[in-house]
Structure 1
Amino acid sequence: MKRILIIFLVLTIVGIAIGVMKPFDSVLVEDDIFIAHGFEDKPNTTEFNPYPQGNPALSDDQNRAIEIAVSNETVSGYLSEGYWLAPGTMLLKEDFEEYGENFKGVLLAKNETLIYVIVDVKENKVKMIQNYTTFEFKAKTMVVEQNGEYSEIKATGFTDNDVKTVREILSNDQKTAQIIKNKNYNITIQDMVYLNNRNIQNATYAMVLLDIEDGSKYVVMVDITERKVFKMGRPVN
C-alpha cells in the first residue's frame, strides 16, 4: 500500500506539473485496486484534488512552506492569473543538494509555464522564484518529500520501444491478458518516471490508460524495471 501511495503521488505531481498527465478528480486506493475518477475529463484546476481525504500527508514544514509561498506578493499575483498550486513540495536535485532539508520547493503551473518557488522555512521567507517551460522542467531531476522520506525522481519520457514493452507486459499479466483477450484495445502512457529512494532503487514506472473496444477503460500501474503489472484499477467509466 505504501509503495502505491508514494508512486501515485510521484506520478501525479510530476505528470500533471510538467503537462504529460491529466489531473484526476479524485483517487481511491484500496488493498488490491485503485480507482481514478474523471480520468479523461477536462481538468477543473480550481477544484483539482487527487487525494480522497484532502491534502497528501504533509509535514509541518511542508505546510508552512506552502503558506509562506502563497502569501508572497509575487506568487499571489500568479495565482490570481490562473496558475494552480501543485500538491506537496519538491526541490530540484541541485537545489536540494545545495540548500538541504530546511528549504522546500513549491510549484505553480499554467499551460506550458511553471513557476518554481524556493522557500526558506527556517527564515520564513521566499528565497527565489524561477520560471520554467514544461520542456525545461521535464529535463530536471527532482527530490519529492512524502511522509518524512525523500524520493529522487525524473520524468523520463518514452519511446516506441517502451510502448511495445508495455504491450508485452499487459499481454503476459494474468488479469490484463484476460481483459484484452480477443479484443481490440489502445494504450496511452500517461506518464513514465524514474524513481530512487531508500526502499525503491533505480526503478522505472508507468501509468497507463487501457482503452478496450467495448468502451471500458482501466488505469494500470506498470513496473517497467521488473516487467510486471503491480496494480490495476476497476473500470474508470
Structure 2
Amino acid sequence: MNTKISAYYCLLPSFLFMLYLTYMQYVINHGFWLKGVLLSTMATLIYVACFAQLKRKNDGVSKRLVMISNSLLACFLLFLGVYVSTDVETALISSVAAHTIMAFVFVVIVVGKQSVIMRDSDTGALYRISRMKAHRLSENEVNKYWAVESNNLNSLKEFSSNSVTGFDSNSPTIVLPYGSNDFNSSDFNHEIHINPSSGSPMVGGISGHDISGNSWGTNFNEPTNTYDPNRGY
C-alpha cells in the first residue's frame, strides 16, 4: 500500500544535496559548497514550494515517491563523490543537474497526485477522490481538513451516495463507477473507463469498445444477453 508520510520529507533531497556539498567542500575545497548552493537555488525553491503546498492542505507525500527519489539521488551523489571528485567541474554540474531534474520530476508527481475532497450529502462523511476511488477520511484527517478549510464549507463539492450504485458508505475505500451523474469527471483522473451498461472496462476510452466488444452504453455482446440483432430479444 502506498501510504503518505509527513510533508517535511519533501525537503529530504535538499538535505542530501547539502551533505554532498559539505563532503565535496572538505575533499576538494575550491568553494564547492557555495557554488553548489547558488546553482541549486531553483531546485531548493521547488522543494520548499511543494512542502508549503502540502502543509497548507495538511496533506502528506507518498512514501514510495520519497523512497525512490531519494534513493536515486543518494546513489548518484555517492557515485560522484567517489569516482568523479577529482573533476571539480563535472562533479559540480552533474550534481546540480541531477538535483534540479529530480526536483521537477518530484513536484510534477506530487501535483499530479493531488486529490479532490468531496462530502457525502447523505451521511456527511468526507471522501478523498483519487484515481476513480473514494477513500473515506478518518476522524483525524477530517479534523485536519476543517482546521484549514473551515471557511470554504460552501465551496466543498458534494455527492449523494444513495444514488451511486454499489456505494457502501461503511467501506473505507470504494471503487467509483465511471459515468455516475454524481461525480464531475473533471474533478479527478480516470485511468480506466467502465461501460455503464455492461460493467466491463473500455479499451480505447469512451469512443472504443469494452472487453466484450460492446460500444459505450450497450451490452449486446454480453454472454448472458439474449438480444439477437436480427430477431430482437
TM-score, length of structure 1 as denominator length = 0.21
Higher CA-based Rg: 2
Which of the pair has the greater relative contact order for Cα pairs under 8 Å at 6+ separation?
A: 1
The structure that is helix-richer by fraction is 2
